[in-house]
Amino acid sequence: MSHLSTHPRRTGLIGAACLLLLALAYGIGGSTITYAFASDPLGPRVFPVILAIALAVLCIFYARTPGDAEEFPRGLTMVRIMAIPVTLIVFCLLMETIGFPIMVFCIVTIISALFGASFVLSAIGGVIQAALWWFIFSYLLEVYLPVGSLFG
């Protein structure tokens, strides 16, 4: 990752290569769509194939003139950044089990700490936000939010 950072051109080449692969996969996927009938001359395949070709052509221009790109983070910063989606995914998957309030408490506490707040402040923030969002969504907006199978 760190090598990507210093050269927008290299970022452009890698980005263009990834997008080219996407165009290829999408084009193949699009051209092999199965359908029983089509009420128009184009059918469901042609538009995706046109898009795949357009993306592939644009990738060439992108690789030639990559424009601006930011540096990719390294080391601890990268770990901290990745910790956000990992925290969110883990606790969202646990939502039905641990319930919405505890999920919010955990997410807010961990992410506040990632942003440099002390543990106590993070936990207080977690309690307040869990109560606030529960009140707004469950009481005011009457949205069903799981209490958690752990608590019956």
Partner 1 sequence: MNLDYLWSGFAVALSAQNLLIGLIGAFIGTMVGALPAIGPINGIALLLPIAYTMGLPPESTMILLAAVYCGAEYGGRISSILLNVPGDAGAVMTAMDGNPMARQGRAGEALMLSGIASFAGGMIGATGLALFAPLLASIAIGFGPAEYFVLMVFAFATLGSMVGSAPAKTLIGCVLGLMLATVGLDATSGAYRFTFNEPELGDGIEFVVLVIGLFSISEALLILENQTKGHTVIREMGRMLARWSDIVKITGATLRGSIIGFVVGVLPGTGASVSSSVSYTTEKRISNSHDTFGKGDVRGLAAPESANNATACGAFVPMLTLGVPGSGTTAVMLGALMLYNIQPGPMLIAERPEIVGGLIASLFIGNILLLVLNLPLVNIFARILTLPNWILVPGILTLSVVGVYSTHSSIFSVILMLGIGMVGWLLRKGGFDMAPIILGFVLGRVMEVNLRNALAISGGDIGILFQSKISLILWAMAIGIAFVPVLLARRAKKRRIAAEQVEQSA
Query: Measuring CA to CA, how many Å separate 38 from each of 35, 44, 55, 148?
Result: 8, 8, 25, 47
To partner 1, the closest distance from the beta carbon of 56 in angstroms equals 10
Q: Is 148 in the site for partner 1 (CB under 8 A)?
A: no
Query: Residue type at 85?
Result: P
Q: Is 98 in the site for partner 1 (CB under 8 A)?
A: no
Site track 60-79 with partner 1 (rule: CB under 8 A), x = hit: -xx--xxxxxx-xx---x--
- 117 class by beta-carbon count within 10 Å (0-12 exposed, 13-18 middle, 19+ buried): middle
Is 64:35 a contact under the CB 8 Å cutoff?
no
Name the CA dihedral angle for 67, 80, 112, 118, rounded to a multiple of 10 degrees: -130
To partner 1, the closest distance from the beta carbon of 8 in angstroms equals 7
Residues at the site binding partner 1, with contacts judged by CB under 8 A: 8, 11-12, 15, 19, 26, 29-30, 33-44, 47-48, 51, 54-55, 58-59, 61-62, 65-70, 72-73, 77, 80-81, 84-85, 88-89, 92-93, 95-96, 100, 104, 107-108, 111-117, 121-122, 125-126, 129, 133, 137, 141, 143-145
